[in-house]
Amino acid sequence: MAGVQLCIVVNSILTGKFFGSDGLAAMSVVSPIYSVYAAIGALIGIGGAIITSHSLGRDDKSEANSRFTCSFAFAILLSIVATILMLIFQRELLYILGCTDEIYSMSKSYATIYTIGGVF
C-alpha cells in the first residue's frame, strides 16, 4: 500500500508540473481505478498467502504450490475481467467518478493508460 501511495504522489507531482490544473483534475478522477487493481492484488494475495501457508504448515509443498498458482491465476483473471469491464464502460465510469466535459478527453486518455496497465 505504501508503494501505491508513493506512485500516486509521484504521479501528482509530474502531472501538475507538465499538465497543470486540468491534468491534476483528470488524475484525481482517474486515480480510483488504480486503487481497484491494488485492492484486487492485496485481497487475493493475502488470501492466497493464508491458504498457501496452511498447506506449508502441513508440509504439503505440492498442495501449497497448487494453491499459490491458483491464487496468482485468479488475481490475473479478475484483473483482466476488471480491465475489460472498465474499458467497455469507461465513459460511464469516468462520469461516476466525477469527470466533467471539460476534462473528459484528458481523463479518457489517462484512464485508458491506467486501465490497460492495471493488469501488470
Residue bearing cell 498442495: 63
Whether the pTM exceeds 0.85: the reply is: no
Model pLDDT, residue 7: 78
Question: Which of 39, 24, 21, 42 is closest to 8 using CA atoms?
Answer: 24
Q: Render pLDDT for 55-101 as a digit per residue (tens, 0 to 9).
A: 999 999 999 999 999 999 999 999 999 999 999 999 999 999 999 99
Q: What's the DSSP call for residue 98?
A: T
For residue 20, give the C-alpha cell. Answer: 497543470
